Structure 1
């Protein structure tokens, strides 16, 4: 991946038009995945057992989401270790507000906690994320930044238009460094069939927003359905790679709104 400058990233952020992404209809659902160790990494991690649960639910004024990833891992050298991260958020229907909360645990002990709110101006200018935990911290959000639900909609909309590459700044609230340049390569597609929506392979590379080096900080790939459900997930942390297999999928009811 070539080194890029800030103006180029900002320009690419304009490729996903709000009106187009708003037309995407996501399904309220809860999905459970079984985690296992995949090929790749440096061999330091020898085994993994765990799971990932993700929930996306339509609310009357936006979308709520929650995720929990937990696993135990064995190492070639040293004792086994465990990791547990829990994330929840609310994102407005207008794509301009995000409330977020994240807690992580290493070997059962609290490790990190982040909470706060982020906003983007309707005019499309710069926004800001304000943290209540840790207090007094904030992150500037450049024009064109997307929040997670809006980003998923943008990827689906781009895939439906037949595009193969989307790159935008994304803020998900997972920490003080949660603003990333996210480059998505859209690959193979499965046309929709009776009772089954269309789907596409997505390969995402996450770079720190201020770092334009060729090597991403994190890589993620999955098959994304037109209704927002994902399966066949691969999480590449560099030192080790995890694979998530969809075990259970539950459709959640639509909200009752006045």
Structure 2
């Protein structure tokens, strides 16, 4: 199971499309300081990135579907916190699931994930630890960078072993990936193809195929800070960057708000699908740098 650990949201039907036929080039990754349009009305990725919200969110997870595999029951939680670190975002996330197999055995799987990502989208530090029944099954840590907005870069792993890998041109880190999707939604785009590096594995960047199925004007919602914002449904499929990667490694349905907060999630791990709902939410107090 791949531990996808981003701000993820609302339940969607999982969509299968011939991605290569429809995908558009990545949107430009342009820091606000170098992009005059970011200060105007145009919903650029830089403008959206500047408004991503520091917040705490807690999700309750339940089993949505089992595809005839070994999983017959599953429950869990996910906590997610974004902190404004002035020159970057510090993110901490914990995914905790207990899965019951056909033999009646409970298996607890926990992923702890932490990142720091510069607000210009050029640098990232990451650390991920996954355990199964308290035994560590996967660890990654290191730092990554891209040469310039929209350029290529590299990731330097310190765990599980010292290793350097190249990142393709256009690679986005998680917060800018979110901002790019939201900006595209506000521009009326429907399909994107975006390279992503998130640090949850030791194989470098992945390809993501994004389908934006809706984008709505503000509407009533039980968390007042979100009710004043537009929001919409997104489906993302993650592919390994290998020639034979015809099937996604992982898929997620999301409902994003304009400030990057997600209120539900639908995570397809292949053998089973977990659905989550936002149970607790709090915006962080304004941070003065």
Matched, 1:66 2:92: yes
Q: Which residue of 1 aligns with 2:62?
A: 36
Candidates 224, 230, 249, aligned match of 2:281: 249
Quick one: structure 1 residues 123 and 224, their matched pair in 2 at CA, closer, same or farther if it must change by over 3 Å?
A: closer
1:110-142 CA-to-partner distances (Å, cap 9, x unmatched) read: 121111000100264320000112332122101
Measured after TM superposition, the shift of residue 94 of structure 1 is 1.3
Distance 2:170 2:196 in 1: 9
Distance 1:196 1:52 in 2: 25
Candidates 108, 126, 129, aligned match of 1:100: 126
Q: Which residue of 2 aligns with 1:223?
A: 255
Secondary structure of the structure 2 residue equivalent to 1:188? coil
Superposition map of 1:47-62 within 5 A: 47-62=73-88
Quick one: structure 1 residues 178 and 201, their matched pair in 2 at CA, closer, same or farther if it must change by over 3 Å?
A: farther
Distance 2:211 2:142 in 1: 30
For structure 2, the residue ranges without an aligned partner over 5 or more in a row are 1-16, 36-43, 221-226
Candidates 187, 196, 219, aligned match of 1:170: 196
1:95-124 CA-to-partner distances (Å, cap 9, x unmatched) read: 100000001111111121111000100264
Distance 2:82 2:68 in 1: 33
Quick one: structure 1 residues 16 and 201, their matched pair in 2 at CA, closer, same or farther if it must change by over 3 Å?
A: farther
Measured after TM superposition, the shift of residue 161 of structure 1 is 0.4
1:149-208 CA-to-partner distances (Å, cap 9, x unmatched) read: 000000110001011111110000112125211011001222114842111101000000
Matched, 1:46 2:72: yes
**1:64/1:90 contact within 8 Å kept:** yes
Q: Which residue of 2 aligns with 1:203?
A: 235
Secondary structure of the structure 2 residue equivalent to 1:23? helix
Moved more, 39-48 or 214-223: 39-48
**1:3/1:214 contact within 8 Å kept:** no
**Bigger strand share:** 1
For structure 1, the residue ranges without an aligned partner over 5 or more in a row are none
Distance 1:124 1:182 in 2: 16
Measured after TM superposition, the shift of residue 40 of structure 1 is 4.2
Quick one: structure 1 residues 211 and 224, their matched pair in 2 at CA, closer, same or farther if it must change by over 3 Å?
A: farther
Quick one: structure 1 residues 192 and 48, their matched pair in 2 at CA, closer, same or farther if it must change by over 3 Å?
A: same
Moved more, 194-203 or 225-234: 194-203
Distance 2:80 2:125 in 1: 17
Superposition map of 1:233-248 within 5 A: 233-248=265-280
Secondary structure of the structure 1 residue equivalent to 2:45? helix
1:210-245 CA-to-partner distances (Å, cap 9, x unmatched) read: 245431110001110001110220000001110111
Q: Which residue of 2 aligns with 1:140?
A: 166
Secondary structure of the structure 2 residue equivalent to 1:167? strand
Q: TM-score, normalised by structure 1?
A: 0.91
